[in-house]
Amino acid sequence: MSPASSPRDAAPDARYGRFLRRETHRSRSAAEIVVLTVIALIAAYVGTEAVLAVLGAAPLLIAPSDLLAALVGVGELATGALIGIAVGTGLLALILLVLALAPGARARHTIADDRLAVVVDDGVIASALARSARTIARSRREDTSASIGRRTAVVSITPASGIGVDRDAVQKALDEELERIAPQPATRASVRIADSGRI
């Protein structure tokens, strides 16, 4: 009689999916904390001013009635001041929108595996691509560099003077290396060869 599978073993893909997402994307907690703290401080200030106005005490900064009058009379401000307020508000809104909607991806890729959740730093993949390109191009380590983005990788080669570089052979080696690593999301590589060589 086989033992019943535990709930932990029932859905490893779901657990790994959550883990991989957490490791490949930035947390938005810091931005959320800042925004919520600012909102809480504004609400506390407005509430304090309202209570002071009801009690007939002097306001801390500005009475709610004066603040409301200033907001209603904002249309009477000079055009430059209105444009400045609009631009400032628009920039703040744009920053908050980008923080809310941007994927917040870290410089990491995942590799599919049946048993493990595998996360690879982009620097490791870039080093592997640079090594493959360096081997085919017969270039030195300092003459070959690689950078990798979410879906693209660029390998730059500065050939030694008098030694030609076969672009197609380097491209084939990069494609084979990426096929072997199989990073997710899938990444395409391109080769840049400098016009002038180095002694």
Mean pLDDT calculated for residue range 74-84: 78
Burial 75-113 (b: 16+ CB within 10 A, else e): eeeeeeeeeeeeeeeeeeeeeeeeeeeeeeeeebbbeee
Residues 53, 55: Cα–Cα separation, whole Å: 5
* pLDDT, tens only, 90-100: 998 888 888 77
* pLDDT, tens only, 109-155: 888 777 777 888 888 999 999 999 999 888 888 889 999 988 899 99
Residue 1's pLDDT band, with cuts at 50, 70 and 90, is: very low
pTM for the model stands at: 0.58
Domains defined along the chain, listed by start: 26-101 (no CATH), 108-193 (3.30.70)
